Structure 1
Amino acid sequence: MKRHGSTGLQLTSSALVCALLIGVGAPATASARHHFRPGSAGVGDPWYPMEGNGGYDVEHYALDLTYDPASGRLDGVARITAVATQDLSRFDLDLQQLTVARVSVGGRAAAFRRDGQELVVTPRRGLPASSRFGVEVAYGGVPQPLGGDTPYGFVRTDDGMVTLSVQDGASTWFPCNDHPSDKARFTFTVRVPRGLDVVANGRRVGRSSHGSWTTHVWSERAPMATYLATVDVGRWQVRSGATPGGIPEYVAVDPALTRPDLMSHFWRTTAAVTDRWARSFGPYPFDSTGAIVVWASHDGVQIPFSAETQTRPVYSAADSDTIVAHELAHQWFGDSVGFARWNEVWLSEGFAMFATWYWDELNGRASAHDRARQIYQDHPEGDPFWSVPLTGPAQPTDEAGERIYFGGAMVLQMLREELGDATFFAVLRAWTQTYRHRTATTADFTATASRVSGRNLGGFFRTWLYSPARPALP
């Protein structure tokens, strides 16, 4: 994600309850064979220790949502299928602000309590390690955005809403294991007043109207981190079809944005960038591409942002082709190949920034070679920029953000010059294929580069990736 004008990271009616997915609990006689204990209330991420939860992995979120723009009220039932990674006596879900009406595990009512952002769930019986279980949470309220003057999470718009789930924004609108290390498939069933439309990740798989409400169903079949999930409600202008390369494309534009060529701009640019990156970085990893272009404001002022929501980035006050190139590069780097810890987010943002430079180079603007050297010259010996490690800065500060975005892109350009284009892009294609729909680490990337190039690149990476000092230019 890029917030324009800053180099810093942005890291920082009731619903009916249906029958639950299959749940597995330990039989009473099995308790002696298991050592049930609580899952942790956070994954211990170096930047955000309380994000996510331990003891289980989510396989699927089925979110059944009803939204009334007039009141701002959201009512939902979240049906979560997960697998226990330990013998679980209880577990946490991340959910902020909203009121929980009931929780069940395995089809049976479960005890629950709130502890800040944590929803602590205690099933009637322990959940054995490796067992698959279902959780159902009925909840509701009026979600509030996070972030103050630069809001994210659940953000109301003039005719609906947009969700920017970056960092901990997902937990403002659904209960989840809110950490990028836990990817899952998603189904969104969203009820809104008739006349409004819904756009989400993946592809539309259903739509029906009953009385004054219309239900829209979207499905994202590829695993997705919670921070990449989006559901957006409004009166969209829509175009659907396919890119010249045959990738399904869906673009939705908020009619409140009156620039007459906005739809054609995003349609053409999205198609061109997606097809180009498929040639450069490997096959497109999802079953659709596109854009959601929205008017989102705070105190009457449009919020400038773009976000790499999976399959379909969301843009507000962002219409340049380089921004589209950046967010669509994330479909390969950050979305399909995810990162396991927030402090390795250079694997997402550094790669997307390199792609932005490369896009400009392909279109006759400044070369990636020149851009990398400009960053190098802008930060002389002794500049704190060089002391911020790419592989785990202590805090997500603006200074760390500059190093992650631009320093990460510089490392990749130097690797490109070290290996030559043919080998360098072979490394990137191997990276996106090997870790497709998975999470990976910096060590995984350096190993991939050495394997594909057939070279020992330890010295290169010690110099450009791990060194706390300004390297000498080759």
Structure 2
Amino acid sequence: MRRIGGLALLLALAACRSGGGVEDAPDVPAPQPGVDVQRIEAVLSFDPETMTLVGRATLTIAHPDTVGRVWLGLSGAMEVGTVEVGRQPVAAEREGAALAVPVSGVTSVVTLAYRGVPDVGVYREETPSGLVVWTDGWPTRAAGWLPAVHHPSDPLVLDLTLEVPRRWDVVASGTPAGETVENDSRRARFVTSESAPTYTLAWAVADFAFTDQSGSVSIRHVTLAQDSASVAFLSRTPALLDTLAAFLGPLPYGRFATVEVPLVYAGMENAAAPFFQTELYDAPAALEEVVIHEAVHQWWGNDVTPADWRDLWLAEGPATYLTAETVRRLDGLEAFRQSLVQMALLDRRSAARRLVPARLADPEDALTATPYQKGGAVLHLLRLTLGDEVFFRALRQTLRTYDDRPLSTAAFQSELEEVSGRDLDAFFQRWVYGTGVPTLRTRWDRATGTLSWEIESGWGLERVGAELLVRQSGATDQYVPLDDGVASLPGDENPEVFPVGWLAEVR
């Protein structure tokens, strides 16, 4: 039986990550060499009815003593009042969504007061459960409400206090660190225990239903009232988190929450509290697979961040492939193989495209099937090439070495080579930096019931254990080793041939 899971939905909706609305992402300043926003303490007062936000953010920033000024991204819709450095007022320069703050020395504490109605990054929608307001930071939309360096190479710790009218519930990235209700206001504080890129820092306000779940870490499911019964679909969340921790290490951020909001795409990997699309709560299998995908991101993409938007495959490739691996450990080999076949069903252009683009004018241009599915397929081929023990040991070492640090593709290759003791330059030149895919030529002889095939040489696919799925109408699916080159089939119909987790043009 063919599994119809969340991977298909997730991949189909990846290109919709243009945000909660139709606005373009702010044109924020590029990161400056040596400038590192390490921590932000933000206090926001927000009215969901009027969408008015009043904020005060204190940033701890390390920087070279020669930098002169640091550039931060904050939407032009936010009116900046006072700017202080070390509690001393300074004159900042403003150019659209760019804010230049004068600094000296090697560390500065910068405090900004601002207010306005966000024009990007904060969204609202009426639902059967009432009004929902949520944020979406991808790729730079967090600049709609948070001043920061909005680039994956500069992850930070966020200490967020959000004040709303008392009838509203609040959820946010990080671990809850206290909530008070006084008079007509609710104040809730959340702290990320480890760094995360700004596009994974988010909050939501609505009339939520909360369900806590027992597990080895703190787990909470946050739904809209209309879907509170759908929490039953998430019963395996403790098992999937424990499964991931068994081969990746302890869960970053120390807790995990699922949050339902009206996203236009399947899920968003917000640190410690991923957001999920409302439509998924009517699709149990899809919901669970997307939860696994966003859970993997807590390690790959959040705790270890891509060094550049061009390295996005280092977040989406592991999230896609390790979702399939988690399915294998929970549901068995057949489920794993089906997930791999689905992952490798990639259109010709996306399969042939470089995993690391030579140039990328806009980070949203990276949101194709390539970093997801091709990224996952390349990881599967690395696993076949290196063997299970070395492959997973290399993943764990990379997570330890680059904990709270940006990871480039070159650095990932170095980690794999160090652990395996192998030169992987040819592999990376072919599959990561190169274009095209190998050709798999097949021949069906109906008279003898024989299917034969030949893979184009030079791609490193021979003698690594790669498999093919052979599907024939009216017959049971067969998984056959690529190296066999021939298989006998029981039926007369022309068979279909699918690579299992690796890429090829089948002819």
Partner of 2:224: 254
Aligned residues: 414
SS at match of 1:330: helix
Q: Deviations over 1:223-248 (max 9, x none)?
A: 111111011112221123542xx112
What's 1:315 paired with? 276
1:92 aligns with 2:74: no
The one of 101, 104, 115 equivalent to 1:127 is 104
Q: Please name the residue that 2:250 is paired with.
A: 283
Q: 1:344 — aligned with what?
A: 311
1:146-179, CA deviations, whole angstroms, 9 ceiling, x for partnerless residues?
xxxxxxx211244342111110111001111111
Query: Conserved in 2, the CA contact under 8 Å of 1:4 and 1:304?
Result: no
Q: Which residue of 2 aligns with 1:75?
A: 54
Equivalent residue in structure 2 for 1:324, among 270, 280, 291: 291
Letter in 1 for 2:248: F
In our comparison, the structure showing a higher alpha carbon Rg is: 2
> Aligned ranges for residues 8-19 of structure 1 at < 5 Å?
8=15, 10=17
2:139 and 2:364 in contact (8 A); partners too = no
Tell me, yes or no, if the aligned pair for 2:346 and 2:373 is still in contact at 8 Å: no
Q: 1:363-374 counterparts in 2 under 5 A?
A: 363-364=331-332, 372=340
* CA distance, structure 2, for counterparts of residue 9 and residue 157 of structure 1: 17
Specify the SS of the correspondent of 1:331.
Answer: helix
- In structure 1, the residue matched to 2:482 is none
User: Partners of 1:450 and 1:57 in 2: how far apart?
Assistant: 29
How far the C-alpha of 1:358 sits from its partner, in A, is: 2.3
Are residue 443 (structure 1) and residue 406 (structure 2) matched? no
Question: By how many angstroms is 1:355 displaced?
Answer: 1.6
1:188 offset after TM fit, Å? 0.7
Q: CA deviation at 1:425?
A: 1.7
Quick one: structure 1 residues 99 and 372, their matched pair in 2 at CA, closer, same or farther if it must change by over 3 Å? same
2:357 to 373, 392, 407: 392
Question: 1:232 aligns to what?
Answer: 204
Runs of at least 5 residues in structure 2 that lack an aligned partner in the other structure: 1-6, 20-26, 282-286, 439-455, 463-507
Q: Is 1:431 aligned with 2:398? A: yes
d(CA) in 2 for partners of 1:260 and 1:59? 37
Matched to 2:280, the amino acid is: A
Equivalent residues of 1:269, 1:324 under 8 A apart: no
Cα RMSD, aligned residues only: 2.7
| SS of equivalent residue, structure 1 residue 462 | helix
Q: From 106, 114, 130, give the equivalent of 1:139.
A: 114
- Alpha-carbon distance in structure 2 between the residues aligned to 1:156 and 1:375: 33
1:114 matched to which residue of 2?
A: 94
Per-residue deviation, 1:293: 1.3
Contact residue 391 and residue 466 of structure 1 kept, 8 A: yes
Question: Does the aligned pair in 2 maintain the 1:183–1:223 contact within 8 Å?
Answer: yes
Unpaired stretches in structure 1, ≥5 consecutive residues: 13-47, 146-152, 297-301
Q: TM (normalized to structure 2)?
A: 0.75
Distance 2:11 2:187 in 1: 34
Q: Which deviates the most, 341-350 or 153-162?
A: 153-162
Question: For residues 55 and 453 of structure 1, do their structure 2 counterparts lie closer, same or farther at Cα, with a shift above 3 Å needed?
Answer: closer
Structure 1 residues 227, 374: closer, same or farther in 2, change over 3 A?
Answer: closer
Change (3 A) 1:279 1:155: same
CA distance in 1, matches of 2:165, 2:352: 53
CA distance in structure 2 between the partners assigned to 1:164 and 1:49 by the alignment: 16
Distance in 2, matches of 1:322 and 1:60, equals 32
SS of the residue corresponding to residue 88 of structure 1 reads coil
Work out whether 1:405 is the aligned partner of 2:372.
yes
Distance 1:271 1:372, change over 3 A: closer
Decide whether the 8 Å contact of 2:200 with 2:302 is kept in 1: yes
Distance change in 2, residues 1:399/1:119 (3 Å): closer
Specify the SS of the correspondent of 2:190. strand
Matched letter for residue 251 of structure 1: H
Q: Which residue of 1 aligns with 2:37?
A: 58
CA–CA distance in structure 2, aligned partners of residues 377 and 138 of structure 1:
49
Instruction: Report if aligned partners of 2:28, 2:140 keep a CA contact under 8 Å in 1.
Output: no
Pairwise CA distance, 1:469: 2.9
Q: Pick closer, same or farther for the CA change 1:3–1:141 going to 2, 3 Å.
A: farther
1:220 pairs with one of 183, 188, 192:
192
Using the aligned pairs only, state the percent identity.
27
